[in-house]
Amino acid sequence: MKVLVLMKQVPDTETRIKIRPDSQRIVEDGIKWVINPYDEFAVEEALRIREKFGGEVVIVSLGPKRVEEAVRQSLAMGADRAVVIESEEIPELHLVVQALAKIVEDEGFDLILTGKQAVDDDSAQVGPMLAARLGLPHASIVIKMDIDEDQKKLRVERELEGATEVVELPFPAVLTAQRGLNEPRYPTLPNIMKAKKKEVKRIALDSLTLDGSQRVRLIQLTPPPERPEPTVLTGDPVETAKKLAQLLHEQAKVI
């Protein structure tokens, strides 16, 4: 079974983000870059599928040269090879999806996995948009997966708010992984050394023919508003409770 994993490199979640003066990008100096955490679940699940059914796990990523560090980490986890679409600037989302679609069509696949969202932009759109573009069935926020290889079908559990949904899909399909699907493995030293020799195919974004006629344009990036200083209530419990109720009503406006 051939599984493609769409992987994105993102700033570490503990990085303090600053916005450039042009309000279009973030300041990248000093940022620690990592594999998108939700994509790690997708990589791990792909490796488990290969271990059970055989086949190949291929990482597909898009970004500048620094992306190779995250790609090599995925290869050290156990992926077989990778394809990197090289672009110093990350294009608009619909162009990203077009570029990814061209690669997965060229590669061929039985299953496409990716994280439910990237922790930098939180759009959660790549999986659904790619499935729509390729005309494939899709399930998002997957927390459990069973494969019936003989009948060429998947049975997955999706996490909903306050519930779990069970869905059956035919192959090929696109799934997005949620926390809880598995526990990603750590690369071992021998696999880290092997990853240095694994194939990473590089394709320039400019070499792909993309349709830029439908545009979603970024207007401005702005930081979230500063949080106000917390109000600490002390003293007599009865008076404190009264004051708390007053603040919840007048300031927080939740009662």
Is residue 188 assigned to a domain? yes
The pTM score is 0.84
Is residue 220 assigned to a domain? no
Is residue 216 assigned to a domain? no
**What pLDDT score was predicted for residue 22?**
86
> Residue 254: which domain range?
225-255
What's the CATH number where 82 sits?
Answer: 3.40.50.620
**What pLDDT score was predicted for residue 218?**
78
Is residue 132 assigned to a domain? yes
Exposure of 75 by Cβ count < 10 A (0-12 exposed, 13-18 middle, 19+ buried)? Answer: buried
Clarify whether residues 196 and 168 are in a common domain. Answer: yes
- What's the distance, CA 33 to chain centroid? 14
Is residue 219 assigned to a domain? no
Residue 60: name the closest of 158, 205, 190 by CA.
Answer: 205
Residue 171: name the closest of 188, 196, 199, 146 by CA.
Answer: 146
Q: Give the containing element (helix H, strand E) for 32.
A: none
Clarify whether residues 124 and 236 are in a common domain. Answer: no
**What pLDDT score was predicted for residue 209?**
85
Domain count, the chain: 2
**What pLDDT score was predicted for residue 109?**
92
Clarify whether residues 203 and 230 are in a common domain. Answer: no
Q: Is the dihedral of CA 82, 83, 85, 90 positive or negative?
A: negative
**What pLDDT score was predicted for residue 74?**
96
Three-state SS at 15: coil
Clarify whether residues 163 and 52 are in a common domain. Answer: yes
Is residue 155 assigned to a domain? yes
Burial string for 221-238 (b: 16+ CB within 10 Å, else e) reads eeeeeeeeeeeeeeeeee
pLDDT along the chain (255 residues), means of 10: 94 85 83 93 96 94 93 95 91 89 91 93 90 94 89 88 90 93 93 93 90 76 83 89 90 81
Clarify whether residues 201 and 104 are in a common domain. Answer: yes
